[in-house]
Amino acid sequence: MEVRASAQGMGVAPRKIRLILERLPGLTVDQALALLRYVQSPHARSVSKVVLSAASNAENNFDLDVDDLVIKRAFADDARTNKRFKPRSRGRVSPILRRSAHITIILDERGG
């Protein structure tokens, strides 16, 4: 049975989150949390919160054993982009795009 958790509108570009998420599929929840604890990125804490949320969803809502869960998919989608403009020389402007991401973690039972 697939269990999912997501964090909407995280204030980080999806490209940066995907660098962390590409390491997670195939790992158990404990292995993923151990890996995220030592990743050299400040955004790994946000990803670990989503992994913990998915594990809690599996345990509390579906009565699954957390030790038997494996990360099946982990992905980040584009969310809202804040668009601002900064003045430049000779009366011109350049855009500033503040991107944000939706993080989704899908867990599945081992062997299933």
CB 95 within 8 A of CB 42: no
By residue range, what is the domain housing residue 12?
A: 3-109
Q: Indicate the number of domains in the chain.
A: 1
Q: Pseudo-torsion of CA 23, 56, 62, 69, nearest 10°?
A: 30
Domain of 44, CATH number, reads: 3.90.470.10
pLDDT beyond 90 at 112: no
At residue 74, the 3 state secondary structure works out as: strand
Query: Average pLDDT in the 89-108 region?
Result: 97
pLDDT per position as a tens digit, 59-76: 999 999 999 999 999 999
3-class DSSP assignment, residue 10: strand
